[in-house]
Amino acid sequence: MLKKSFYTGILVLFVFFGCNEKEEKNIVKLKGVVFGTTYNITYLDKINHQKSIDSLFGLVNKSLSTYIPTSDISKINKGDSTVVVDDMFVDVFEIAKRIYSETNGYFDPTIGRLIDAYGFGSGREKKDLSSEEITELMKGVGFDKVKLLNRKVYRETSNIEFNVNAFAKGYGVDVIGWFLESKKIKNYLVEIGGEIRARGKKHGKLWKVAIEKPNVDGTRSLQKIIELNDESMATSGNYRKYKVNENGEKIVHTVNPKTGLAFESNLLSVSVRLKGDCADVDAYATAFLAMGLDKTKEFLLKHPELKVVLLYNNKDNKLQEFVN
């Protein structure tokens, strides 16, 4: 698998503390744009690995980007049965399979056509989807309808379209983290579009990030500061990226794989952290938004390894915070 070979948003603000000149000489800070968003990489070392990191970003895109017509995932979605997928695709497929099972289908990367239809994907948008159209699109949903055998993907129907954008940023974060670890770098923080993997410390102190309040008026303010102790964290929310249909209802970018609907709920923001990989918490965060507040709380009782900050509105429309 990919990890072994490496070894041979928007909703998170960073909290950095001042360093003296001597300390700064041992810190590499890289930033740029990738996967349609920004990235920030900070690690304690003297070598700049920008070229290698750019190459890794290119490999992730080549395998998993639905916005690149020549990527493996795009070819598969177009019906190319000759595609032999790489280690990255295998990794992502296995992660999706596991979390699809754990969440009872609330995380499902086969909702690609629905995401397109709602106008949040790379495909053609359908204005004001009818219930009949949603029912028809739902026929192509179900991760249990696909198989990966000998590095080839088999779909029960051509209506099934993969879209791994819900956790591709998190996986990209892991790819860079694994690379840094292969270079014996023990202290680093990698962030892509708000998804984070932190290991070690920065001059003796744990890495710190801050979760934003889910402000709907465009302003930005802090809700909570989190210390990451060799953890990954992902934050998802529906309060910024949405559309309004002809009935004045908000259509959010998180599609419920159970119903095919994409309506706003009282759960506004989900931050999940884990002593593990960022792809996992990225997928869990997406699933929790689809589950809603009550089902998420029930799920967490069975998964104490997951730590969350859930921001939601109560019956009086006042912001509340749940932390486990």
> Tell me: the pLDDT tens digits for 58-89?
999 999 999 999 999 999 999 999 999 999 99
User: Whole-model pTM?
Assistant: 0.89
Overall average pLDDT of the 233-257 stretch: 76
Is a pLDDT exceeding 70 seen at residue 265? yes
Provide the pLDDT confidence category of residue 3 given band limits of 50, 70 and 90: very low
Each residue's pLDDT tens digit, 83-112: 999 999 999 999 999 999 999 999 999 998
Task: For residue 237, list its beta bridge partners.
Answer: 269
- CATH no. for residue 107? 3.10.520.10
How far from the centroid of its chain's Cα atoms is residue 264's Cα?
Answer: 19
| Distance of alpha carbon 195 from alpha carbon 173, whole angstroms | 7
Round to whole Å and give the CA distance between 238 and 227: 24
Q: pLDDT class for 18, splitting at 50, 70, 90?
A: very low
* Secondary structure (DSSP) of 79-91: T-TT----HHHHH
More confident: 241 or 68? 68
Contact in structure between 230 and 276 (CB atoms under 8 Å):
no
Distance of alpha carbon 308 from alpha carbon 323, whole angstroms: 6
Residue 137: count other Cβ atoms within 10 Å of its Cβ.
23
Confidence of residue 213 (pLDDT cuts 50, 70, 90): confident
Q: How many distinct structural domains can be found in the chain?
A: 1
Lowest mean pLDDT among 37-51, 220-234, 245-259: 245-259
Helix/strand/coil percent split, the chain, to 5:
35, 30, 40
Q: pLDDT value at position 249?
A: 67
Q: Mind listing the pLDDT tens digit for each residue in 105-157?
A: 999 999 988 988 888 877 778 877 888 999 999 999 999 999 999 999 999 98
Q: Which residues pair with 148 in a beta bridge?
A: 153
In this predicted structure, the answer to whether residue 242 has a pLDDT above a threshold of 70 is: no
**What is the average pLDDT value for the chain, to the nearest integer?**
88
Q: Is residue 3 a contact partner of residue 200, using CB atoms and an 8 Å limit? A: no
Distance CA 274, CA 281 (A): 7
The domain of 110 spans: 2-323
Our measurement of the distance from residue 84's CA atom to the centroid of its chain's CA atoms, rounded to an integer in Å, reads 24
Average pLDDT estimate for 254-266: 85
- Span 275-287, average pLDDT: 97
